Amino acid sequence: MKKNLEFLSKALSLLPEVKETLVPPKEGQFFSKPLGKGDSVTIDFGKHLVGHLQVKMGYVNSHPDAPVWIRFSFAENLKEFEENVENYQGWICSAWVQQEQLHFDLIPGEYTLPRRYSFRYVKIDILDISSKFNLVIEDVMAIALSSADDSKLKSYHNVHKELEQIDHIACHTLHDCMQKVFEDGPKRDRRLWMGDLRLQALANYETYQMNDMVKGCLYLFAALPMQNGQVGACVFLEPEPEVDDTSMFDYSLLFVAALWDYYVETKDREALEDLWETAKMQIVLAQKQVGNDGVVKDCNKLGWCFLDWSLELNKQAGAQGVLLYAMKSAVAIAKEIGKDHDAECIMKTYELYRKAAKMHFYDEEKGLFVSGDCRQISYASQVWMILGDVVDEQSGIRILHDVATQTEAIEMITPYMYHYYIEALLKCGDKTEALSVMEKYWGGMARLGADTFWELYNPNNPDESPYGGTIVNSYCHAWSCAPAYFLRKYYSEK
């Protein structure tokens, strides 16, 4: 399909300006220290930030008679400095590694490095320098970038200070992912992903309330559909707005849920009416993957449905749950804008799919949902069946408690999946367990020193990477900002 230029124009007009803030290093013992070949300094800015680096360099001894060759390495987590980029053999492109080798012909001088980085730490290695002089780092400054308006962020109070800390880290995570669009991770990918946007938008409603930014991102997805009208998994903003060639069953459907969330928050009827056809198309396209038995067809194509970062996870049951979840939002939208026939048709189909889900995926003997021909048990399958309303709340909480006793159950890996796990717990009325999960999971990252939350965190293996090396892990990732939403909405002291 062609770009919708009207939607695109509206989207771009709604996106915010990115503001600059100067941030000095935490300490400056490295200033004026003479540096020769093989020397290095590590600079700590005291907090995670996104932006550019300014360096003012001078010299001692003889007048510089040759360029200075320097390697700059940027890290969100000190762990990244332990891994050598030359040894990285993962499947994600090593060009994402935040490392530069630059020659500086004129010393003294003040330079701004050309690229944008996501970092707390900067390591400067002197690869080579003339023996006639030594380099001196006279000043370093970060130019931090974010579109988040900190004046709109209200403080969060709780008698449990650890929860306040978790909220602070979650807000900081969201803040640094808020650039021109809601980026998924400012270190790697640096684009707008639908699955991340849905969770960022929810956190935004409870924090920065930059709702026009959410609206602009929704219009971007609607303006840049894939060839068949499907909402792409992600879109690029530069060098010009364009949809990626990646699609995911669940991410496309979450556009529907995100649109309804936005309306519930803003009551922006114009947006609801403008974007209804895009939302409806996601339901229509998803139904094409449903068999005559009312069940989403399983698929062995890698990435057809995301759910979580796991190659072991069978996605069939989870995909069915996401479809049901989105159909509920579609019915609500259709009713709200007077599309009664659409609402009736979608609701009728929803009931058929819901009954089929219970019949096909629920194992009476195990008392749990299974997925695929292998009849796999996973947390993801239970969570999405519950969110799709396949069982009532009482049965749902029993299922969530029982799956925790199954040693063979495929566990959750990402904060993204943990978000929906907590949503399922809250839906079933277990606020105590939901809070306990937040304290253990996000609190675990906080106790490891995180000042923004990570793309992936396995409590049993904190250094795990889905890519083959922690050097490309994202330690500030949009889908991990969930505590800012849940704590402020459900656990706020008023």
Nearest of 484, 493, 490, 492 to residue 201 by alpha carbon: 484
| Domains identified in the chain and CATH numbers | 19-146 (2.60.120.260), 154-490 (1.50.10.10)
Residue 1: predicted pLDDT: 77
Tokens standing for residue 320 = 């069915």
| 30 pLDDT more than 80 | no
Residue 468: predicted pLDDT: 87
Nearest of 389, 371, 375 to residue 295 by alpha carbon: 371
Q: Position of tokens 């932006």?
A: 51
Helices (H), 428-481: 431-447
Rounded to 5, what percent of the chain is helix, strand, coil? Answer: 45, 20, 40
Residue 494: predicted pLDDT: 60
Read off φ and ψ for residue 144, nearest 5 degrees: -80, 140
Q: State the maximum Cα–Cα separation within the chain, in Å, rounded to a whole number.
A: 83
CA–CA dist 243, 192 (Å, integer): 10
Q: What is the pLDDT of residues 427-474, one digit of tens each?
A: 999 999 999 999 999 999 999 999 999 999 999 999 988 898 899 999
239 cis-preceded (ω within 30 degrees of 0): yes
CA–CA dist 73, 168 (Å, integer): 27
Q: Count Cβ atoms within 10 A of the Cβ of residue 209 and give its class: 0-12 exposed, 13-18 middle, 19 or more buried.
A: middle
For residue 116, count other CB atoms closer than 10 A to its CB.
17
Res. 29 pLDDT band, cuts 50 70 90? confident
For residue 201, count other CB atoms closer than 10 A to its CB.
24
- Helices then strands, counting H and E runs in the chain, come out as 13, 12
Residue 459: predicted pLDDT: 94
Res. 32 pLDDT band, cuts 50 70 90? confident
Q: Count Cβ atoms within 10 A of the Cβ of residue 348 and give its class: 0-12 exposed, 13-18 middle, 19 or more buried.
A: exposed
Q: What is the pLDDT of residues 301-358, one digit of tens each?
A: 999 999 999 999 999 999 999 999 999 999 999 999 999 999 999 999 999 999 999 9
> Which of 36-53 are b and which e, b meaning 16 or more Cβ less than 10 Å from the residue's Cβ?
eeeeebebebeebbbbbb
Q: If you average pLDDT over every residue of the chain, what do you get?
A: 96
Contact 481, 199 (CB under 8 A): yes
Would you call 257 helix, strand, or coil by DSSP? helix
* DSSP string over 186-210: TTTT-SEEHHHHHHHHHHHHHTT--
Tokens standing for residue 143 = 């130019």
Residue 492: predicted pLDDT: 87
Residue 49: predicted pLDDT: 98
Rg over CA atoms, the chain: 24
> Which of 326-342 are b and which e, b meaning 16 or more Cβ less than 10 Å from the residue's Cβ?
bbbbbbbbbebeebeeb
Would you call 121 helix, strand, or coil by DSSP? strand
Residue 473: predicted pLDDT: 94
Res. 43 pLDDT band, cuts 50 70 90? very high
Residue 227: predicted pLDDT: 95
Residue 31: predicted pLDDT: 81
Residues in the chain: 494
Helices (H), 15-160: none
Res. 17 pLDDT band, cuts 50 70 90? very high
Q: What is the pLDDT of residues 196-255, one digit of tens each?
A: 999 999 999 999 999 999 999 999 999 999 999 999 999 999 999 999 999 999 999 999
Nearest of 185, 151, 195, 234 to residue 50 by alpha carbon: 185
Res. 363 pLDDT band, cuts 50 70 90? very high
Nearest of 360, 480, 460 to residue 420 by alpha carbon: 480
Contact 12, 216 (CB under 8 A): yes
Tokens standing for residue 157 = 């109070």
CA–CA dist 91, 89 (Å, integer): 7
